[in-house]
Amino acid sequence: MVIPVVSGLTTASGAAQVTDAYRSAVLIAAGVAALAGPVMLIGGVLARYSSEGVRTMVVTCTNGELGDAPGGIKPGDEGHDEAEVARVRLSELERACETLGVAHLELLGYHDSGMVDWEHKDRPNVFCNVAVDDAAERLSGLFERYQPDVVVTYDELGGYDHPDHVHASRVAMAAVARTGIPRKAYFTAFRRSMFERFRAVLEEQGADLSQIPHPDPEQLRMMDAVEARITTAIDVGRFVERKRLALATHASQIEESFWVASLRRRSARSSARRASSERTTRPARRSRRLTSSWGC
């Protein structure tokens, strides 16, 4: 059984014509606090299109201060230094982007908000409490500078309701609407069937599944709703190894990560397919159901 470990983008007219149709793409990520951030999100896609001559860019909104320090030390615990965590994770992200062939890495520099059930998210200076218009204005400046044809970001739920992921999606889509520069915008998505296959593989390996319990009925309903919106899948199987190498640059995060460790064990044998759902940026083509597709 194979498990999907890489994400993707391709044009509706087919991957072979991607460099004719699109010359520039940008990923809007919440920041470097998430596990290997952009690498986990669409690392394979970035590697593929960079290799095909598309200029790829990554924009991170936060500094990742509230990630775990080495040894799994949590924010607020003795030995956790926010500034040092941010410094280390930025350095790792820079190396990962170099591995994937990303042409530009831009940092908006907002403070990490932490998880949805942490008190940090209530601080006035954290990213999730920055006015959407203010952050979108800064992002719009980057759109004007780089002129991206395609934007990829989290969906409106932020993948798993992480405050910074949700806010990054809002800011990205506000900048798309404000500038009208990107020709297309996509949300990343994860199929329910992929989650089930991933869990089955881990079960076959005898892994401890306590960290990934069976979804409850509401979670299953949400997974099905997300999958129904998927319009695009991108084959990035040839770039699994490069994504694995990019993940390896995030050394401060990998050793403590159940998910990354599991993916690393399987990456060499994975054909890796992930999907993204599209929102058109042209008013004449708007649709409640996302219909255009890229291939993954």
pLDDT tens-place values along the chain, 296 residues long: 222 323 333 222 333 334 445 677 677 665 444 546 678 788 999 999 999 999 999 999 999 898 888 888 888 899 999 999 999 989 999 999 999 999 999 999 999 998 878 888 888 999 999 999 999 999 999 999 999 999 999 888 877 778 999 999 999 999 999 999 999 999 988 788 888 888 888 888 787 777 777 888 888 888 888 888 888 888 999 999 999 899 889 888 776 555 555 555 555 444 444 445 544 444 333 322 232 223 23
Q: Residue 71: what pLDDT?
A: 80
**Would residue 293 count as lying in a domain?**
no
* Joined tokens for residue 30: 């919440």
Could you give the angle at which helices 240-248 and 37-51 cross, rounded to 10 degrees?
A: 140
The CATH number given to whatever domain includes residue 123 is 3.40.50.10320
DSSP, collapsed to helix, strand or coil, labels residue 1 as: coil
Q: Flag whether 6 is in a domain.
A: no
Q: Does 194 reside within a domain?
A: yes
Is 68 inside any structural domain?
yes
| Residue 98 near residue 245, CB atoms below 8 Å | no
* Residue 79 structural domain: 15-285
Please give the pLDDT value at position 11.
Answer: 29
179 Cα distance to chain centroid: 22
State how many domains the chain has.
1
Its pTM stands at 0.77
Query: If DSSP codes are grouped into helix, strand and coil, which group holds residue 107?
Result: strand
Residue 3 forms part of a structural domain:
no
Distances 209 to 162, 166, 202, 262 between C-alpha atoms, Å? 22, 27, 8, 11
